[in-house]
Amino acid sequence: MRVAIYLTVLVVFMSSCGNESKKNHGKRADVNQKEDLVRSIDSLESIHAVKGAKDPYTVSKLISAYSEYRNKFRKDEEAGDYFLKAGDLAMSVGDWDKAVEVFDNFYNDYTEHPYSDDALFQLGFVFDFQLNDKSKAKQVYEHYFEHYGDSIHIDEVRARLKDLNLTEEELIEKFRKQNNLD
């Protein structure tokens, strides 16, 4: 009987040690994966700094790396920063669908991030000026107005909400009057 109890205790102890070992191995693998991804991002950022938007391959890889970091390490402090960079980079190369996807997801996933208002503003900007979807731009701007009434972009948002329904000719006329160009 003692042998059975001893063997049971030994088996339980061995299996719990194995679980700890697996947990520690998993944590090390995550750390290694994160470090590898950060090195890759740093390398791609260095290449992008030299080549800029002229190298669509590097831009695409960098956007993917930023997005991958966000997807794998969503709760990490840098995840939101990297993801926001992906949106800015998508805008810089005119990938408007990707910019919309990133800014929308950023705003929804990182509502407490210091730049969540910027992401929402950029989303409205893309709908407004790049995709010419005034209806979606209006929704985004109104949401911005409701939630970020004291933000640095609020005057621009207020102006865009007033001007969204104006035709191109009406906007030109308004600009001319404001700047005494008649």
Domain boundaries, the chain: 2-178
CA-CA distance, 37 to 43, in Å (whole number)?
10
Contact 165/134 with Cβ under 8 angstroms?
Answer: yes
Residue 71 banded pLDDT, cuts 50, 70, 90:
very high
d(CA 161, CA 111): 23
User: Whole-prediction pTM value?
Assistant: 0.79
Say whether pLDDT at 72 is over 90: yes
Pick from 26-30, 61-65, 73-77, 165-169 the range whose average pLDDT is largest.
61-65
**Range 152-157 average pLDDT:** 96
Query: Fold for domain 2-178?
Result: 1.25.40
Asked whether the CA dihedral 22, 25, 30, 36 is positive or negative, the reply is: negative
Using the predicted structure, report yes or no on whether residue 167 has a pLDDT greater than 90: no
Per the listing, tokens 């996933």 go with 109
Q: What is the C-alpha to C-alpha distance for residues 152 and 111, in angstroms, rounded to an integer?
A: 17
Average pLDDT of the chain, as a whole number: 87
Tokens representing 179 are 């700047």
Euclidean distance between the first and the last CA atom of the chain, given in angstroms as a whole number: 104
- Residue range 150-154: mean pLDDT, rounded: 94
Report d(CA 27, CA 24) in Å as an integer: 5
Across 24-167, the runs of DSSP E, i.e. the strands, are: none
pLDDT grade, residue 11 (50/70/90)?
Answer: very low
Give the span between the Cα atoms of 38 and 150, in whole angstroms: 35
Task: Band the pLDDT of 32: cuts 50, 70, 90.
Answer: very high
Q: How confident is the model at residue 151 (pLDDT cuts 50, 70, 90)?
A: very high
